[in-house]
């Protein structure tokens, strides 16, 4: 507690701009400090349910950010009160990446991406550098990718992990949007970093090793054709204690990387590819996409991505009527079980269409359609009809807007409707899965820009048709009701006020529930950087069941200062 107050006080003293030392012939580099301090006291009361807050909550919170030269940011925050206390500072995982001209240096906790299938944003503790002089593209990082974690009898739920160290290098040529990069990543677990772990049927922790070699490119051809390619081959050893495998007489690639990686019986060689070719003309374009990721493809430079998939997609787009009408869509197919070793093969068909028509700035309409289908085919074993998965999900959304603006008054009318339907093509399971959802929202917004006076309202309606359970004939759920709000500013906009009220009716299984919510807020700017705020919220919930009816009232008074 004492150290927290001392640190906060010290940082508050830094509220004036400081200046870092620099050479006499250079301008001084500022050290900027910004932040704020907030104090609050509240009131809470509940009737019909157990209290979900303290009757008189109060506390103080503060946040300070120190911005150092080179883009280094140090955020601090603290909360003290009768609802709990906490203090946060950045030194648990602190990292910097200063940049000077074409050179960037990484130090501390960093996450860097070289390509999607090699080093792809995995956090590591270490250092690195990225150099881009002219069209040359160079990069290298080294550090600890995983911290050693040992299990113990006091905390049996902890999943142990070996310390993992690795590095990645990148060599490329080109500029952003038009380049070719070669990447290599190598990482390995330290088998001596934790004590030997007992193995079980549900948890096996063994030291692993990984070598990934990848190619990534983005090429622009004739100013109209783009080519994208991400390719990687991963040699992943799941247990570095497994028996060695002889590589005599192997192919040149194996001999080339043999000094960096030791093949074992637990080693698996997999591949990942994603490619796209696109054409963009004056008013039209099209893009062809392909992806294939082998089963069990892994890289220690990424946390997770889906494997065992192959997909094809086409995405055209068209612009008409001088840009007022825009059409874009896509259609693709995807399937798994590439190795043919699963009981079933699952296929997916995905289609979408977006139409945007804006004949004038005052009004326009957007239409979005999507259709997602999934089906299964027999794999190693024939499929049972009662369990066969075959579904189709249709979704449609229409957004319309109309704007009226005169001098200092703006009015906006909006209409949004959404329709979703899940169709089960398997008659044996349709009555347990099929559902339909319809949503309609009608909104109005009015604002006076000079006085700060404004009102808004929305009328919403939602209906969901759920699967019909055995012996039940009514599975329709409805939600509907209005929401009204108003804003007003006083004293040359130093005092701002707002209020919102909503009344929602819920009908389900022969019961009618009602929820009333009222919220009011006010804020007054005492000085340039000081504000007093007051808020209140009332909730009345009546589900139609007497034992589930309750009321809640919350109020809060706050004071804030920023620097």
- pLDDT > 70 fraction of the chain, expressed in percent and rounded: 85
Does a structural domain hold residue 292?
no
The DSSP letter of residue 88 is E
pLDDT, tens digit, 9 for 90 and up, residues 88-107: 666 667 788 888 889 999 99
Query: Which residues are CB-neighbours of 552 under 8 A, at least 6 positions away?
Result: 44, 45, 46, 47, 49, 52, 537, 538, 539
214 CB-side CA count, 13 A: 33
Range of the domain at 211: 93-196+203-246
Does a structural domain hold residue 335?
no
With 80 as the cut, is the pLDDT of residue 403 above it?
yes
Does a structural domain hold residue 126?
yes
User: What mean pLDDT do residues 478-499 have?
Assistant: 93
Does a structural domain hold residue 273?
no
Task: Out of 31-45, 155-169, 435-449, 495-509, pick the least confident.
Answer: 155-169
Quote the pLDDT of residue 556. 95
Quote the pLDDT of residue 215. 96
Does a structural domain hold residue 398?
no
With 50 as the cut, is the pLDDT of residue 242 above it?
yes
Query: Which residues are CB-neighbours of 21 under 8 A, at least 6 positions away?
Result: 28
- pLDDT > 90 fraction of the chain, expressed in percent and rounded: 53
pLDDT, tens digit, 9 for 90 and up, residues 116-173: 999 999 999 999 999 999 999 999 999 999 999 887 666 667 778 899 999 999 999 9
User: What mean pLDDT do residues 75-83 have?
Assistant: 83
pLDDT, tens digit, 9 for 90 and up, residues 24-73: 444 545 788 889 999 999 999 999 888 888 889 899 988 888 887 766 67
State the pLDDT confidence band at 544, using cuts at 50, 70 and 90.
confident
Q: Which residue has the higher pLDDT, 195 or 144?
A: 144
Quote the pLDDT of residue 254. 62
What is the widest separation between alpha-carbon atoms in the chain? 87
Whether the CA torsion 254, 260, 265, 270 is positive or negative: it is: negative
| DSSP string for 290-319 | EEEE-TT---TTSS----SEEEEEEEEEEE
| Model-wide pTM > 0.95 | no
User: Of 71-85, 194-208, 292-306, which one has max mean pLDDT?
Assistant: 292-306
State the pLDDT confidence band at 327, using cuts at 50, 70 and 90.
very high
User: What mean pLDDT do residues 489-515 have?
Assistant: 91
Does a structural domain hold residue 559?
no
Does a structural domain hold residue 109?
yes
Does a structural domain hold residue 123?
yes
User: What mean pLDDT do residues 385-389 have?
Assistant: 62
| Ramachandran region, residue 176 (left: φ > 0; alpha: ψ -120 to 50; beta: rest) | beta
Q: Are the beta carbons of 95 and 109 closer than 8 angstroms?
A: yes
Q: Are the beta carbons of 438 and 425 closer than 8 angstroms?
A: no
Triad 35, 37, 43: Cα angle to 5°: 145
- Count the domains in the chain: 1
User: What mean pLDDT do residues 429-435 have?
Assistant: 77
3-state secondary structure of 242: coil
Q: Are the beta carbons of 351 and 368 closer than 8 angstroms?
A: no
């Amino acid at each position: 507690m004492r150290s927290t107050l001392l640190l906060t006080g010290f940082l508050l003293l830094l509220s004036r701009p400081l200046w870092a030392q620099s050479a006499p012939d250079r301008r001084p580099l500022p050290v900027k400090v910004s932040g704020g301090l907030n104090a609050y006291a509240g009131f809470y009361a509940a009737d019909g349910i157990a209290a979900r807050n303290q009757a008189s909550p109060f506390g103080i919170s503060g946040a300070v950010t120190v911005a150092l030269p080179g883009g280094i940011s140090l955020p601090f925050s603290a909360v003290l009160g009768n609802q709990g206390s906490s203090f946060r500072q950045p030194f648990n995982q602190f990292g910097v990446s200063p940049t000077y001209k074409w050179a960037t240096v990484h130090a501390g906790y960093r996450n860097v991406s070289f390509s999607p299938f090699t080093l792809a944003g995995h956090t590591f503790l270490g250092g690195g550098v990225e150099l881009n002089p002219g069209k040359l593209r160079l990069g290298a990082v080294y550090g600890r990718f995983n911290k050693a974690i040992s299990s113990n009898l006091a905390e049996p739920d902890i999943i142990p992990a070996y310390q993992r160290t690795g590095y990645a290098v990148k060599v490329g040529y080109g500029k952003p949007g038009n380049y070719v990069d070669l990447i290599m990543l190598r990482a390995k677990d330290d088998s001596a970093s934790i004590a030997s772990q007992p193995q079980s049927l549900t948890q096996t922790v063994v030291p692993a090793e990984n070598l990934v070699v990848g190619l990534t490119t983005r090429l622009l051809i004739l100013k109209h054709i783009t080519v994208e390619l991400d390719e990687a081959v991963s040699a992943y050893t799941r247990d570095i204690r497994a028996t060695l495998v002889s590589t005599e007489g192997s192919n040149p690639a194996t001999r080339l990387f043999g000094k960096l990686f030791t093949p074992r019986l637990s080693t698996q060689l997999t591949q990942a590819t994603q490619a796209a070719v696109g054409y963009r003309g004056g008013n039209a374009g099209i893009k062809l996409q392909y992806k294939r990721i082998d089963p069990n493809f892994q890289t220690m430079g990424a946390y997770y991505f889906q494997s065992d998939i192959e997909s094809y997609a086409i995405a055209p787009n068209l612009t008409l009527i001088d840009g007022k009408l825009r059409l874009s869509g896509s259609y693709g197919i995807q399937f798994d079980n590439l190795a043919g070793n699963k009981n079933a093969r699952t296929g997916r068909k995905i289609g979408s269409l977006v139409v945007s028509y804006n004949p004038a700035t005052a009004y326009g309409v957007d239409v979005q359609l999507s259709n997602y289908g999934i089906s299964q085919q027999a794999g190693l074993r024939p499929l049972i009809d009662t369990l066969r998965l075959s579904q189709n999900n249709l979704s449609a959304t229409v957004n319309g807007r109309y704007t009226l603006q005169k001098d200092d008054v703006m009015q906006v009318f909006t209409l949004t409707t959404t329709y979703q339907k899940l169709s089960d093509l398997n008659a044996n399971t349709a009555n347990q899965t099929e559902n339909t959802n319809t949503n309609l929202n009608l909104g109005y917004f009015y604002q006076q820009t000079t006085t700060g006076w404004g009102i808004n309202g929305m009328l919403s309606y939602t209906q969901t048709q759920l699967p019909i359970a055995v012996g039940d004939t009514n599975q329709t759920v409805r939600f509907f009701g209005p929401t009204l709000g108003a804003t007003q500013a006083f004293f040359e906009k130093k005092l701002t006020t707002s209020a919102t009220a909503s009344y929602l009716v819920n009908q389900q299984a022969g019961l009618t529930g009602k929820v009333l919510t009222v919220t009011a807020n006010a804020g007054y700017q005492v000085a340039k950087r000081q504000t007093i705020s007051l808020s209140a919220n009332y909730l009345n919930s009546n589900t139609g069941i007497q034992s589930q009816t309750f009321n809640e009232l919350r109020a809060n008074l706050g004071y804030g200062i920023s620097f």
